[in-house]
Structure 1
Amino acid sequence: MFLLDQIERQLPPAPARDPAAPTALGGIRVVDFSHFIAGPYATMMLADFGADVIKIEAPGKGDDFRHYPPTDPAFPAQGASFFFANRNKRSVALDLKNAAALEVVRELIATSDVLVENFSTGVMQRFGLDPETCLALNPRLVYCSVPAYSRDGEFADRPGFDPVVQAESGFMSMNGHADRDGVRALSPVMDIGTSLMVSNTVLAALMARHTTGRGQYCEVSLFDSAVAMLGYAPMQYLLGGIEPQRNGNVSPDTSPSGVFHCTDGSFYVNSGNDRIFERLVAGVLERPDVAADPRFNNRVGRNAHRDALFPILEEAFAKKPWAHWRAKFREAGIPSGQVRSVPQALASAEVSARGLVTRIPHPEAGWVPNLTPPARLKDTPVVDPVPAPRLGQHTQDVLKEVLGFDDQRIAQLKAAGAFGAG
């Protein structure tokens, strides 16, 4: 796999948690039928908090996301993208088209607290694993569906992926430059945003269970989450009739906010209010005349006269390197940052100081990189990271530990084809 030979030299090991500390979700079991990102990233967050997440996958191929590049022939079905969304899980390979395998799944559901699925609408029903059936089997179950659009109504049959809902939600129309078509975000922002909604929804349902004693059905759709990810733009339109326009790297609400250039690169400055602007031009740039200019002394004026203001700033910034401006901005409290590539960001002092990129042991590769969860809990820290599992790595462990199956029962399931043809 790319750069595997450099990981031990370049990345620090992930620090170990206090083994005596409890976890936030210790004792919670999640049966995870999800694939790609929106479901798996959510269940990974639950796993980071200490839940036992059992990922159910089809034998032979598993989650399609396993095969997204870059991959290495030495570690089949464990591509870099799959590592991103499946840390701290156990993989069980079961053929859901097999009656014996479905019986095992039902037994797992009966002993679990949460079920998450993002199949196309109708798939879980065909398996006999619809919400009504599963909640009858386990009334304390939190059953969360993550469809593209909905599980009922006229759009229930529609499949969808992140860039599709970026387009349909209006998100794409807001991004890019005014003289070109709108552009998608390359990062799967809608998948990740949906994952955050899913994890919060599951946690809310688990909290409700403390009061009601019952689980419930939950639904978080990719499209609904995409509309929420539009931020405050819908309210600006609904209340003020303001339709978002593409502004490139310039903010439509504050000025001067945008990308500027110095002698050795570019950086972003965000002047969110009048006080920041005054500190920027009167203090950092030593131009009190610009700060006092009636065109620029309030947010509305600066937005209206951006074409006059920006050349003044560009001329000043172009005289010095980034190191000069970085020190000045920090001293003056100006929100700003260097425009970096992904490699530059991962190698930055900020990432290093927070320990955001580490290495963790892998049974075949030796080490693999790890992205530290952003949540920091002092008393119930996230669990020590374990790499995403091999396909079916924990099938026998789960059947024995969770369901109490003996070797004879497992052999019978294998003979019945529950684990696939091979």
Structure 2
Amino acid sequence: MIKPLEGLLVLEFAQFMAAPTAGLRLADLGARVIKIERPVKGEAGRQIAIRNIFVNGDSLVFHTINRNKESYAADLKDPDDMERIKKLIKQADVITHNFRPGVMEKIGLDYESVKAINPRIVYGVVTGYGTKGPWALRPGQDLLIQSLSGLAYLSGTNDAGPVPFGLATADMICGAHFVQGILAALIKRAKTNTGLLVEVSLMESVIDLQFEVITTYLNDGGKLPQRSAVKGNGHAYLSAPYGIYETQDSYLTLAMGDLFKIGKALGVDNLAELYPEKASWFDKRDEIMTLLAEKIKQKTTTKWLSELEAEGIWCSQVLTYKETLEHEGYKVMGMKQEVKLPDGSSLSTTRCPIRINGEKLYSDVAAPRPGAQTEAINLQYNLI
């Protein structure tokens, strides 16, 4: 299978997560992604680990984000290395970086300088907060972004205080936006034969991620999100029954739907009498959820699923990773893949979620060791 981005050369001057995540997706789609890294140690993200898990000398997280790439070692303060980098830039299609504002200008690889070398280059920049304003030079770290963006007041109960997401939410959504911008710029370049500057920031991405609820805030008299007092509520802005409920043996999720129909299926028959107005389903959300919770706890999850699904009610069991990854529904998707590591061992991870012409995109190429392809790239692109 010829992947859509085959023949595209991407130079990744990036570390940690947001920009490298975009590079991962471009590589999955067929681009040749070369990480420009410090000699010997490579990028700093190699030492940032989850649960302190390291594989082949690099963090497991680094392997997850940087599979299917190559590594070129260069000291950007060394004139000879910089000369080779500029020769490589002249032949590249895309450059990405996530240095703080001013760093690339200082070393002479800012957009205007790079455009002078290669007018067709698509130059992509990830920052924490953009290049202007009081936050511009602050660390662009995921939890800090979540905390500044209002995101931490959407989950949990109303007495829980701020609750962060248990994922690198800002990095991941920003990486997705970055890919969108780069691909749009490549389409424009194909029409005009001229490169473009693409800029995204973690903060703007997380604000956009919340566009639905922020728009509600802006048009609802500035009322802040109202989280429920009932454990398991699924959305600060949605009415009952939306949420997760404890059953006799585990948990059950109820999505949106007609409250009276759901109540009847659960055996809570007086909801129409108690809450006849639909507006009250939000205003009296906690009361309604408490009534439903008392009833739901009386049967097993399997029993409820059989009864509710028969009535066309949107509901689900709540699975752990173990249960999800052992479920036939997951297995049939073919999301798991094995990556071959330099020492001959393998690493289990997930594949790209995109399918092209019905085909799933797999690659068993592991993240590279620092500078592993330097010599080959020097020869191929006539850099020395």
**TM-score, scaled relative to structure 2:** 0.91
Q: SS of 1:146's equivalent? A: strand
Query: Which residue of 2 is the match for residue 320 of structure 1?
Result: 299
Structure 2 CA distance for aligned equivalents of residues 285 and 86 of structure 1: 48
1:404 and 2:382 matched: yes
Query: Which residue of 2 is the match for residue 300 of structure 1?
Result: 279
Q: Is the 8 A contact 2:339 2:363 kept in 1?
A: no
Query: Which residue of 2 is the match for residue 389 of structure 1?
Result: 368
- Seen in structure 2, the aligned counterparts of structure 1 residues 310 and 157 have a Cα distance that, compared at 3 Å, is closer
Indicate the percent of aligned positions where both proteins have the same amino acid. Answer: 30
1:57 and 2:57 matched: no
Query: Which residue of 2 is the match for residue 45 of structure 1?
Result: 25
Q: Is the 8 A contact 1:48 1:385 kept in 2?
A: no
Residue among 294, 307, 331 paired with 2:310: 331
Residue among 232, 235, 249 paired with 1:249: 232
Query: Which residue of 1 is the match for residue 341 of structure 2?
Result: 362
Q: Is the 8 A contact 1:44 1:86 kept in 2?
A: yes
- The AA in structure 1 aligned to 2:252 is F
- The AA in structure 1 aligned to 2:102 is G
Q: Is the 8 A contact 2:352 2:362 kept in 1?
A: no
Q: Is the 8 A contact 2:11 2:96 kept in 1?
A: yes
Structure 2 CA distance for aligned equivalents of residues 298 and 348 of structure 1: 40
Structure 2 CA distance for aligned equivalents of residues 73 and 320 of structure 1: 44
Q: Is the 8 A contact 1:50 1:382 kept in 2?
A: no
Structure 2 CA distance for aligned equivalents of residues 143 and 369 of structure 1: 33
- Seen in structure 2, the aligned counterparts of structure 1 residues 100 and 195 have a Cα distance that, compared at 3 Å, is same
1:204 and 2:166 matched: no
Q: Deviations over 1:186-242 (max 9, x none)?
A: 200111010010000000100111222101111101111121122312111211223
Deviation at 1:133, TM superposition (A): 0.5
Query: Which residue of 1 is the match for residue 332 of structure 2?
Result: 353
Structure 2 CA distance for aligned equivalents of residues 178 and 244 of structure 1: 9
Relative contact order, CA 8 A, sep 6+: which one is greater?
Answer: 1
Query: Which residue of 2 is the match for residue 258 of structure 1?
Result: 243
1:239 and 2:219 matched: yes
Deviation at 1:382, TM superposition (A): 3.0
Query: Which residue of 2 is the match for residue 281 of structure 1?
Result: 263
Structure 2 CA distance for aligned equivalents of residues 331 and 82 of structure 1: 45
**TM-score, scaled relative to structure 1:** 0.83
Structure 2 CA distance for aligned equivalents of residues 148 and 263 of structure 1: 45
- Seen in structure 2, the aligned counterparts of structure 1 residues 318 and 66 have a Cα distance that, compared at 3 Å, is same
- Seen in structure 2, the aligned counterparts of structure 1 residues 107 and 327 have a Cα distance that, compared at 3 Å, is farther
Q: Deviations over 1:61-104 (max 9, x none)?
A: 22222123356677112x21112211211111211121111111
- Seen in structure 2, the aligned counterparts of structure 1 residues 119 and 184 have a Cα distance that, compared at 3 Å, is same
Q: Is the 8 A contact 1:175 1:246 kept in 2?
A: yes
1:116 and 2:121 matched: no
- The AA in structure 1 aligned to 2:163 is V
Q: Deviations over 1:100-136 (max 9, x none)?
A: 1111111111111111100111111122101000011
- The AA in structure 2 aligned to 1:345 is T
Deviation at 1:171, TM superposition (A): 1.0
| Structure 2 residues without counterparts, runs of 5 or longer | none
Structure 2 CA distance for aligned equivalents of residues 123 and 256 of structure 1: 51
Q: Is the 8 A contact 2:342 2:366 kept in 1?
A: no
Deviation at 1:298, TM superposition (A): 5.3
Query: Which residue of 1 is the match for residue 198 of structure 2?
Result: 218
- The AA in structure 1 aligned to 2:37 is E
Deviation at 1:162, TM superposition (A): 0.7
Q: Is the 8 A contact 1:263 1:321 kept in 2?
A: yes
Query: Which residue of 1 is the match for residue 162 of structure 2?
Result: 182
Deviation at 1:260, TM superposition (A): 0.8
| Structure 1 residues without counterparts, runs of 5 or longer | 1-20, 410-422
Query: Which residue of 2 is the match for residue 157 of structure 1?
Result: 137
- Seen in structure 2, the aligned counterparts of structure 1 residues 308 and 344 have a Cα distance that, compared at 3 Å, is same
Query: Which residue of 2 is the match for residue 144 of structure 1?
Result: 124
Q: Which moved more, 1:363-372 or 1:40-49?
A: 363-372
Structure 2 CA distance for aligned equivalents of residues 203 and 299 of structure 1: 44
Q: Which moved more, 1:60-69 or 1:301-310?
A: 301-310
Structure 1 CA distance for aligned equivalents of residues 261 and 39 of structure 2: 61
Deviation at 1:172, TM superposition (A): 1.4
Structure 2 CA distance for aligned equivalents of residues 171 and 74 of structure 1: 33
Q: SS of 1:390's equivalent? A: coil
Q: SS of 2:127's equivalent? A: coil
Aligned length: 378
Query: Which residue of 2 is the match for residue 10 of structure 1?
Result: none
- The AA in structure 2 aligned to 1:245 is Q
Q: Is the 8 A contact 2:24 2:69 kept in 1?
A: yes
Q: Cα RMSD over matched residues?
A: 2.2
- Seen in structure 2, the aligned counterparts of structure 1 residues 32 and 255 have a Cα distance that, compared at 3 Å, is same
Structure 2 CA distance for aligned equivalents of residues 224 and 74 of structure 1: 33
Query: Which residue of 1 is the match for residue 65 of structure 2?
Result: 85
- The AA in structure 2 aligned to 1:404 is N
Structure 1 CA distance for aligned equivalents of residues 214 and 171 of structure 2: 20
Structure 2 CA distance for aligned equivalents of residues 361 and 331 of structure 1: 46
- The AA in structure 2 aligned to 1:76 is G
Query: Which residue of 2 is the match for residue 13 of structure 1?
Result: none
Q: Is the 8 A contact 1:36 1:64 kept in 2?
A: yes
